Amino acid sequence: MTRSLRILYIAVFMGLLLVLGLWSLRSFMHFSPPPGTTVLDGKWTKAAETHYDDEFPIKRLGTNLWAALDYQLFNEGRPGVVVGEDQWLFSDEEFDAIAGGEHNLQENLALVRGVQEALRTQGSRLVLAIVPAKTRLYPEHIGEHTPARLHRDLYQRFHQQVAQAGIVAPDLLTPLQQAKQRGQVFLRTDTHWTPLGAEVVAQQLSQSIARQAPLNVEPQAFVTADLGTSDYKGDLTNFLPLDPLFSHLLPRPDTLQKRSTEAAGTGTESDDALFADAEIAVGLVGTSYSANPNWNFAGALKQALHSDVVNYAEDGHGPLLPMLKYLQSEGFKHNPPSVVIWEFPERYLPVHNDLGEFDAQWIAGLKKPRNTQENLAATAGSSESPVRAHP
């Protein structure tokens, strides 16, 4: 390479870096640091560096290009998603083997039984809503992928264990499978159910509660209104970083039918806060399946049960941590519900939970083996029949 070509090469390279650097500075027009960020403690600088790094064009180009190659050539995304057929996406939590999964499963089952006892001591009846995995409901779309052995009979094992403990846990898989004839019960690009799926589960839980743990409250009327449909980009598309350069390669958005449930005749949505000091008939604890208003699960429960439902579910913490926090809350200690519905996706059963925020002795007490026969006698004839294996 001659001296002139070398100089030209360096000039072009430096010019390209300068242009890309100036381009990325445009992102600061929309930069807004988090509240409370100050310059003196270095947090503002860190936030600015992170924002600049995220918006740097070369990084975005490389990320998008690599993701597009993986997606187009190998039908793969980033860790977190499994790309199925017909533009269906699944969480890899429903496929991967989990280190210590069998041990975690037994530990979590012990906690479930401990929660049952803690609720019973306060006069509350536990109703477990075991949400079947998306792969179990839509195996026709997973393609050549195969769930790890631990996941294959996880739903049935979970039901068998809680039935032995005398916990009310109706089968939700069969009614959801039947409802597929009416529409999607899980979103194609998301980990969650649709409002239709949430409604089916609410109705099944209502029937089970009416038979086994009837509510001693004055019935209330609730009405659910359809708020129209809109495109919905599911959370699993976050593991396909194709925006903005290759966004046309992404699976098409889901169609979300939005719903809202209100107390009949009030014209306003039922406010849980209004019932904070009143006797609570039903409490709901769980994950984003319950906490996210997009699915209207709490609303569907209100209408199916003809009762207000106070929602204690949390987004992003799994099913165990919200329940443990609820058991220690002043609201539960002073005003326990007659029935506590615990929404628990099956895929979380073999997952390790960091319980460091709770007192270790209290957790050990919850896990302590109890007299299962005593529990069964207390709920004789009230537990659901064990769930049969489904293909």
Question: How far is residue 226's CA from residue 261's CA, in Å, rounded to a whole number?
Answer: 9
Q: Where are the domains of the chain?
A: 92-378
3 state SS for 71-95:
HHHHCCCCCCEEECCCCCEEEHHHC
Those residues with Cβ within 8 angstroms of residue 234's Cβ, 6 or more apart along the chain or in another chain: 89, 187, 188, 189, 190, 191, 253, 254
Q: ∠ at Cα 348 (345, 353), nearest 5°?
A: 140
Nearest-CA neighbor of 315 among 341, 336, 340, 295? Answer: 295
Tens digit of pLDDT for each residue in 148-164?
999 999 999 999 999 99
Question: How far is residue 142's CA from residue 75's CA, in Å, rounded to a whole number?
Answer: 12
Q: Is 171 a catalytic residue?
A: no
Tens digit of pLDDT for each residue in 107-151?
999 999 999 999 999 999 999 999 999 999 999 999 999 999 999
Q: Is 307 a catalytic residue?
A: no
Q: Is 190 a catalytic residue?
A: yes
**pLDDT tops 70 at residue 225:** yes
**pLDDT tops 70 at residue 16:** no
Q: Which of the following is catalytic: 124, 206, 270, 288? A: 288
For position 51, what pLDDT does the model report? Answer: 56
Phi, psi of 186, deg, nearest 5: -130, 150
For position 376, what pLDDT does the model report? Answer: 41
- The mean predicted confidence, pLDDT, of the chain is 85
Tens digit of pLDDT for each residue in 274-312?
444 467 899 999 999 999 999 999 999 999 999 999 999
For position 60, what pLDDT does the model report? Answer: 64
For position 369, what pLDDT does the model report? Answer: 76
**pLDDT tops 60 at residue 17:** yes
The pair of three-digit structure tokens given for residue 350, joined into one six-digit string: 């073999």
Q: Which of the following is catalytic: 141, 151, 192, 208? A: 192
Give the best-scoring range by mean pLDDT among 5-19, 319-333, 364-378.
Answer: 319-333
Q: Which of the following is catalytic: 91, 141, 151, 190? A: 190
What pTM was computed for the model? 0.80
For position 42, what pLDDT does the model report? Answer: 56
